[in-house]
């Protein structure tokens, strides 16, 4: 049976290369350290996620992104200053090695700082996490610990779930900044007009 974790045990599970479920400011997610290739692979298996779909990365600061060797461009800085922490995932060009860690084949990765203090504290201590919604691929995301346990409760691949109460936010908007013109790849909590206004 999947365990309910506190912050300390969640950190221990991540350090041991386990996948855990975490609350976010939108929905529950499943998370793995980007420093653990086996954990990232296990995350794909847990979700039945197609290997062609790269994983976004959650961080607690832009400094964590820059430390990964990413050039945080002025447009990215304008968006992060306006909308982070919050429900905006910003896709930027990254070193190939970093992109491969999260199964991206396009030398780009999506980053986000979540607007949830508990999760940011976890990431501050654990380092950047590859995180995607807690659900089987193409099924509705989990919004509570009870939902996670219903979907994954018997899975030996999940190292536990960090309890953050109910999560009922709108999914994040995903914006691509890898070309000269921004593109919204997924509509969500932040509208395209607001993004355009911040960039111009």
pLDDT for 41: 92
pLDDT under 50 in the chain at which residues?
A: none
The pLDDT value recorded for residue 49 is: 85
Q: Look at residue 52 in the predicted model and tell me its pLDDT.
A: 72
Domain ranges for the chain: 4-199
* Domain 4-199 CATH (choose: 3.40.50.300, 3.10.20.30, 3.20.20.80, 3.90.870.10): 3.90.870.10
Give CA–CA dist 106/36, Å, rounded. 20
Q: Which among 58, 69, 61, 68 has a CA at the least distance from the CA of 128?
A: 58
| Cα 198 to Cα 200: distance, rounded to the nearest angstrom | 6
SS3 of 140-151 = CCCCCHHHHHHH
pLDDT value of residue 136: 85
The pLDDT of residue 89: 97
Residues 166-187 have pLDDT tens digits of: 998 888 999 999 999 999 999 9
pTM to 2 decimal places: 0.95
Parallel, antiparallel or unpaired: strands 129-133 and 57-58? antiparallel
58: exposed, middle or buried (Cβ count in 10 Å: 0-12, 13-18, 19+):
buried
The backbone torsions φ and ψ at residue 130, rounded to the nearest 5 degrees and listed phi first, read -80, 120
């Amino acid at each position: 049976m999947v365990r309910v974790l506190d912050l300390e045990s969640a950190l221990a599970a991540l350090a041991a290369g386990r996948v855990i479920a975490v609350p976010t400011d939108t929905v529950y997610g499943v998370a793995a350290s980007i420093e653990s290739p086996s954990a990232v692979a296990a995350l794909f298996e847990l979700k039945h996620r197609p290997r062609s779909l790269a994983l976004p990365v959650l961080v607690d600061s832009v400094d964590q992104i820059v430390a990964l060797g990413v050039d945080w461009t002025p447009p990215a800085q304008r968006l992060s200053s306006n909308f982070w922490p919050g429900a905006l995932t910003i896709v930027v060009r990254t070193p190939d090695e970093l992109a491969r860690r999260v199964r991206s084949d396009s030398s780009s990765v999506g980053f986000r700082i979540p607007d949830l203090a508990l999760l940011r504290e976890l990431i501050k201590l654990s380092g950047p996490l590859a995180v995607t919604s807690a659900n089987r691929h193409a099924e509705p995301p989990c919004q509570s610990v009870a939902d996670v346990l219903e979907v994954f409760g018997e899975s030996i691949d999940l190292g536990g779930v960090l309890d953050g109460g109910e999560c009922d936010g709108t999914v994040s908007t995903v914006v691509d900044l890898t070309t000269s013109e921004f593109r919204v790849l997924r509509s969500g909590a932040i509208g395209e007009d607001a993004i355009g206004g911040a960039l111009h």
